[in-house]
Structure 1
Amino acid sequence: MRKTQITVDIELDENHVPEKMSWNAQDGGIDNQETKAAMISVWDDKEKEALRIDLWTKEMPMDDMKRFYHQIFISMANSYLRATSEDEVSDYIIEFAENFAHKAGIKG
């Protein structure tokens, strides 16, 4: 069996707020790539719930955060479609994402 790793390195300020972050995914060709935000979700099979870590640096601009969320919603719709083949629900998530983008002021 082969193993691989994806890592996120975080530099914290004196108040434990992320100042710098970078991530690595050797198999994907990512080596110490700087990022301003990361959201990681894993599935707890015993509790039947998602566990999350949401991090962003002090330098993450608000408009970029809004775009980040919008793109995550679109990615979720695409992943949901691949996982379930449920077009109608995937389309609903995309519709939500587009409404979010308008309400958040990132799309006209």
Structure 2
Amino acid sequence: MKTAEVKLIVKLDEHNLPETMTWESTDSVNKEAIPIKAMNLCVWDHNYQNTMHLNLWTKDMPVDEMKRFFHETLMTLGDSFLKATGETNIVEDLRDYCAHFAEKMEIMK
């Protein structure tokens, strides 16, 4: 059995706000830590039947990049949901909403 590891490093300022963050993975082609500006980590707790979240961003994360980050996260969640459940109708609804979100946030490509 293979084991993979993901490592997240968050450096905090004196007020416990993220100053810098990096991530690396044992399966990554790039073996060095990669700087990141934002992250959303969600895990499902089967015992309590709920989701635990860790949502962080650095103090210098630009608002325009945060808008794109959320848009791409929503799109990716839809892709993952479709792959996991096969629920095409609701994923199409989510994609429609993502297009609306992109238009409202003025991040259309």
So what's the TM-score if we normalise by structure 2? 0.92
Residue 4 of structure 1 aligns to a residue whose secondary structure is coil
Richer in helix (by share): 1
Q: Does 1:13 align with 2:13?
A: yes
State the aligned residue count. 108
Structure 1 counterpart of 2:13, which letter?
A: D
Runs of 5+ consecutive residues of structure 2 not aligned to the other structure: none
Q: Does 1:61 align with 2:43?
A: no
Shift of 1:26: 1.5
Shift of 1:52: 0.5
Cα distance in structure 2, aligned partners of 1:2 and 1:43: 22
Structure 2 counterpart of 1:57, which letter?
A: T
Identify the residue that residue 108 of structure 2 maps to in structure 1: 107
Shift of 1:47: 1.5
Shift of 1:46: 1.3
Shift of 1:105: 2.2
Q: Share of identical aligned residues, percent? A: 32
- List aligned pairs for 1:34-53, cutoff 5 A: 34-53=35-54
Cα distance in structure 1, aligned partners of 2:52 and 2:29: 26
Shift of 1:81: 0.8
Report the RMSD for the aligned CA atoms in angstroms.
1.3
Cα distance in structure 2, aligned partners of 1:43 and 1:56: 21
Higher mean C-alpha deviation, range 36-45 or range 26-35: 26-35
Residue 28 of structure 1 aligns to a residue whose secondary structure is coil
Cα distance in structure 1, aligned partners of 2:92 and 2:77: 11
Identify the residue that residue 2 of structure 1 maps to in structure 2: 2
Residue 93 of structure 2 aligns to a residue whose secondary structure is helix
Runs of 5+ consecutive residues of structure 1 not aligned to the other structure: none
Higher mean C-alpha deviation, range 28-37 or range 79-88: 28-37
Identify the residue that residue 83 of structure 1 maps to in structure 2: 84
